[in-house]
Structure 1
């Protein structure tokens, strides 16, 4: 299928001259421009200031048609903006003068779009958010994986690693060798379950701790 090519400004002037001055039919104009008759018909009848008024009373204007086509392309790119110009002006002022972030604007200002809508406007290039720059106001917390990796590389962890325990413990022949671990909540709560596991008997004891700070862990181990 052949890709669609938009009408150019010169083609719109050709349509105006041939249709109004030389009285050529729209079908003949379409053949001259190598366009479909429907393309030329829609251009002349619909791409006007008043499409509801007949052509003899409100003629086709190529300059206005070219401007209107460009505006329609911009509107299709942006989508239908549900936000008023006044709200967008206030958003632009908050970005340029106060250097607010999008979440700050959405939660602190009245009658403005939501955070998701503002980010959509930023993505499609709405003028009011063109000067917006993403900023990191808070440093992300260090992940538990990085903390454990740094601990694993320390000299203390290398000397007391579980890999260097005696072979008798690996065979599970004597009672009294325990392992300990924490079970965290998937909801992200601070409380955890401290699990004590005996290797030979597979006996388990579970204790709840309010958090994983050293004082809480120390008290739980002493209680165990």
Structure 2
């Protein structure tokens, strides 16, 4: 059995209806011919042909149907149904959010299509004419009371902007064990009003920390300063670094070329994959709390904080200091 078509009638189908009516065919025959339900054809014909003198015009019928549909789409549901409108107004007066109103409607009227609306439609209704007196009153009933609604932000693209990056998934398993020295985690700490930043790099085994003063947050400055500080270290301490997906590491290949270190990238929004670095940033914040303008901090202050962290006994490394672990590793014969 051929399944009957659904949806709105097309102009082609209406032309077929007009032709078959001219040939005096009945509605059942027409329905079978165009593969539509008899009720669909009956509604369409009866709308235009009620007496023997009436004629059906496919073009005119199609234009009117299209116009009706567009007008129906343009009339918002809240304006159309007073009962729904009163419910929305009552909800706003009770200091409910549009999302709460939409949710309660589903709870209270689960089988009533009229009493059903999305929170986005409620927002659109409220902000349709933000300067109108009614809309101003409705906006004041919202929690945030913003006079204009900002356009929604574009979703962050899933594709990385960093070329040739190597995922943490490809990082050798032995690095996870922290038995080998020379594997680091890196990040940026952002200062007041997003206008300043410092680099933080932490060695995974020893917890030895480097705090790097930056003149800018761009990838060129970061590649230059990270490479400069890392190259002050003995080669045994320069094996790899794991970083987040920040675009500031776009020149990671430059760092690899200058230092010989492989760079691995953690997954987006997965700070636990660089847990040592995140914890160390928390320690640094004790000295440089959020809201600090790093541009106003001199280099000696950063060095002092770095020295305090590297000479601080750490339980996780047997109450040794990061500095002591680094010195021991450097003098260990297995590295030569």
- TM-score in terms of structure 2 length: 0.27
Of the two, which has the highest radius of gyration? 1
User: TM-score, normalised to structure 1's length?
Assistant: 0.38
